[in-house]
Structure 1
Amino acid sequence: MKFQPISHSWVAVNPQPQGVVQFIGGAFFGTFIPMIFYRSLLQSLFEQGYTIVIYPFNFTFNHYVEAGFLIKEQYAVIPELVRIATKNLYEYENYLENTNYYWLGHSIGCKYISLLEGFSALPQNAEARDKFIRDLITKNQETRNFTADSVIADIELLIAELKREYIQGKNLIEYYISQALQYQSQTIKLKPEDVTIDKIFIKGQASVLLAPVNSGTDSAIPKPLAGIVDKIGLGVKPIPSLTFEIIKKANLFNLLGLIAFDQDTKLAFSTVKWFDHNYGDKNGDNHHPDYQDFRFTRNGGHLRPLSLRIGNIVFNFPDSVQVSLIEPVASRIEDFEIYVTKLFKNLDQKRREQDKS
């Protein structure tokens, strides 16, 4: 597994890819050399036949903008995957199908994936989108006094950009394939207005959340100051309660799995509890009958997905007495990482069954 830079991201191209795992890590570890900090997890996925894409993110309070940046990165990376595959005579066909792209997040990275899934629920019609967003914001007790205009403007700008980049990406893919197969490429004659919302976001792409954290301003600055910053509209956007509303609207657990850790009693605890109540409880707002089939709890603390891997030995981060600081790769895979690949395979099977029905 060798990573190379593509656009703003890091990519390890598998010669025989069965799909692409797009990874967004936690704060700090997901920003600075994530291919080292998450080595064992990413290596195990690569060995299962996935091309790996690591998306970076900046420290910012505007998570709408950062989520938009991540989806734009996807459309910069996909044509390059095809180019590299055709140039090296690797298999490239699986890069052409939208449902062969998967998302994997850890900690705050899960919030960005949730927002991208939420964007997929936006109405196709601009007027309906406007009403959808205004209703969402005004019905939330913590945001009803804020104006929705800036959020609507940001999302409309993002949608326009993504439609153009979607078409440009399709044309680049066609060009690279034509070069490899030696035929004259055709320009994709789509117009932005022909590209639907479900095509440009991540609808139909399975996601797995590891110790998800839906954080607010108080995770970055002290609570008394965070409250003031939020009141004047300069805090984290969207705030946690609004993010949860977006998740509900998107019916997020359609193609999504979750792994929590039994010693993670602070950082991800409240977010996992919210998912368990809303989707796992029969009386939950969004009760999902097969929620428990795609929900695992494993040994360890919040940093369990992190590790340094050297040869057949893994050095774990010391955040749980249940997990050895040093363990064989095979032991770690059996205890944790096999559950990630199991979720991707099970979610893929679920998607195929939905397509048939």
Structure 2
Amino acid sequence: MNWQPIGQNWVLLPRRPIVAVIHFVGGAFVGAAPQVSYSKLLEAIAARGYAIIATPFINTLDHKAIATAVLSQFENALERLQRRQVLDRFLPIYGLGHSMGCKVHLLIGSLFEAERAGNILMSFNNFDADRAIPFAEWLNMAANVQFSPTPAQTYRLVQRYYPTPHNLLIRFRNDDLDQTRQIAVVLGDRFADKVILQKLQGNHLTPLGQNLPRQLQGIFSPLDALGEWVSQEFYRDCTYLERTIVEWLDLLSASLSSNSPEWRERDR
């Protein structure tokens, strides 16, 4: 499988028959090059028959404008692929987001008529600018800047307008930036048992899934051994994340087509 640029997106098409389309949006800074930053995770999902359309973005204070641009870019690529008969027009579409990418998907669903079979939200956060912008406090920015919509406005928009009932929410055990429980309450009030919360091993960077650099030439020192162990743990956590996502996608697709039992909340 090879990534290809289409419009302002990066697209990955599986070799096997395509069962659905995944619209991926990454985190605030690493999301600028998703085909690199998230390559391991997205390529593993594509290998199971899911076409990936990853939309980069540059972070600004205007998150509504980001959501508008991301949706427009995605729909442009989708239309071009459908016109070329690469993608069937009736394939289900799932959103997949990490960190700020989760907020982008929630805004897309709340502000626009973008039909989704389900959304997967990893490490959701919805902080104020003073927490989200590096060094904001040092630069005395906190009192002068704020995201639009604000965190409180975002929750209200989701509570009133977000239409997608099937959601997989993923939080990691060692993630200090995670606010998944807050959005789980909001979505749970609307959609009850259709919202699945999974707690997995890992941290905020686990979806990036990159092997840590390590020096294996010359003498293998205790530091090298520690780096090898950390890298293996990181790889294992990402691999389990991949499996969790694909299981949910496969089971939801089956339940939507045959009314099979849905997942219940599990804590791994």
Give the distance between the partners of 1:350 and 1:223, measured in 2 at CA.
Answer: 48
Change (3 A) 1:251 1:300: same
Asked if the contact 2:109/2:115 (under 8 Å) is kept, the reply is yes
Confirm whether residue 267 of structure 1 aligns to residue 177 of structure 2: yes
Match for residue 43 of structure 2?
A: 43
Deviations 1:101-148 (A, max 9, x none): 11100011111000011124xxxxxxxxxxxxxxxxxxxxxxxxxxxx
Give the distance between the partners of 1:302 and 1:325, measured in 2 at CA.
Answer: 15
Give the distance between the partners of 1:275 and 1:328, measured in 2 at CA.
Answer: 26
Structure 2 counterpart SS, 1:298: strand
Asked if the contact 2:167/2:194 (under 8 Å) is kept, the reply is no
Match for residue 209 of structure 1?
A: 121
Aligned residue type for 1:324: V
Give the distance between the partners of 1:290 and 1:78, measured in 2 at CA.
Answer: 27
Asked if the contact 2:166/2:194 (under 8 Å) is kept, the reply is no
Give the distance between the partners of 1:71 and 1:210, measured in 2 at CA.
Answer: 19
Structure 1 counterpart SS, 2:115: coil
Match for residue 200 of structure 2?
A: 298
Deviations 1:154-208 (A, max 9, x none): xxxxxxxxxxxxxxxxxxxxxxxxxxxxxxxxxxxxxxxxxxxxxxx32343110
Give the distance between the partners of 1:30 and 1:54, measured in 2 at CA.
Answer: 9
**Displacement of 1:19:** 1.2
Give the distance between the partners of 2:159 and 2:168, measured in 1 at CA.
Answer: 15
Structure 1 counterpart SS, 2:251: helix
Match for residue 9 of structure 1?
A: 9
Confirm whether residue 344 of structure 1 aligns to residue 249 of structure 2: yes
Change (3 A) 1:298 1:63: same
Change (3 A) 1:83 1:287: closer
Alignment of 1:1-357 (within 5 A): 1-15=1-15, 16-32=17-33, 34-84=34-84, 86=85, 92=86, 95-97=88-90, 100-120=92-112, 201-218=113-130, 219-220=132-133, 222-223=136-137, 225-230=140-145, 235-251=146-162, 254-264=165-175, 266-268=176-178, 271-279=179-187, 285-286=189-190, 288-291=192-195, 294-308=196-210, 315=211, 324-326=230-232, 331=236, 335-352=240-257
Structure 1 counterpart SS, 2:23: strand
Aligned residue type for 1:325: S
Asked if the contact 1:257/1:295 (under 8 Å) is kept, the reply is yes
Structure 2 counterpart SS, 1:254: coil
Aligned residue type for 2:96: L
Aligned residue type for 2:143: I
Change (3 A) 1:262 1:75: same
Deviations 1:52-93 (A, max 9, x none): 111011221111111011111122101321355x4xxxxx4x
Change (3 A) 1:303 1:82: same
Give the distance between the partners of 2:32 and 2:38, measured in 1 at CA.
Answer: 11
Query: Where does the alignment leave 5 or more consecutive residues of structure 2 unmatched?
Result: 215-226, 260-268
Change (3 A) 1:17 1:316: farther
Larger proportion of strand: 2
Query: Where does the alignment leave 5 or more consecutive residues of structure 1 unmatched?
Result: 87-91, 121-200, 309-314
Give the distance between the partners of 2:19 and 2:158, measured in 1 at CA.
Answer: 28
Larger proportion of helix: 1
Give the distance between the partners of 1:73 and 1:316, measured in 2 at CA.
Answer: 32
Asked if the contact 1:279/1:287 (under 8 Å) is kept, the reply is yes
Change (3 A) 1:316 1:208: farther
Structure 2 counterpart SS, 1:17: coil
Aligned residue type for 1:275: I
Asked if the contact 1:4/1:10 (under 8 Å) is kept, the reply is yes
Give the distance between the partners of 1:350 and 1:118, measured in 2 at CA.
Answer: 24
Count of aligned pairs between the two proteins: 242
Change (3 A) 1:107 1:324: same
Asked if the contact 2:117/2:164 (under 8 Å) is kept, the reply is no
Give the distance between the partners of 1:290 and 1:207, measured in 2 at CA.
Answer: 11
Asked if the contact 1:307/1:316 (under 8 Å) is kept, the reply is no
Match for residue 220 of structure 2?
A: none
Give the distance between the partners of 1:9 and 1:69, measured in 2 at CA.
Answer: 11
Change (3 A) 1:111 1:45: same
Asked if the contact 1:13/1:52 (under 8 Å) is kept, the reply is yes
Give the distance between the partners of 1:343 and 1:117, measured in 2 at CA.
Answer: 20
